[in-house]
Amino acid sequence: MADWQESAEHEEAAVRNMGYREGKEESKIEKVKKMKEKNIDISTIVELTGLTEEQIKVI
């Protein structure tokens, strides 16, 4: 395979991966918002999401 083709494939895969990660973060933010609306304790949200208390407070 030509080097330019391989490079383009790697770049395309990196862009797809970045989009996937961004989508996961957006989903996590929406879940945190819903948990906060239901008055779930921040320590429980920390445990379930892996986010820090500071991150949850700004969402």
User: Is pLDDT at 8 greater than 70 in this prediction?
Assistant: no
Taking the domains of the chain in order of start, what are their residue ranges? 3-58
* pLDDT at position 17: 67
Between the alpha carbon of residue 43 and those of residues 11, 32, 53, 57, the distances in Å are: 39, 12, 7, 11
Instruction: Quote the mean pLDDT of the chain.
Output: 84
Full-model pTM: 0.61
Concatenated DSSP letters of 34-54: HHHHTT--HHHHHHHH---HH
More confident residue, 37 or 21: 37
Question: pLDDT for 12-31, tens place per residue?
Answer: 777 776 766 776 777 889 99
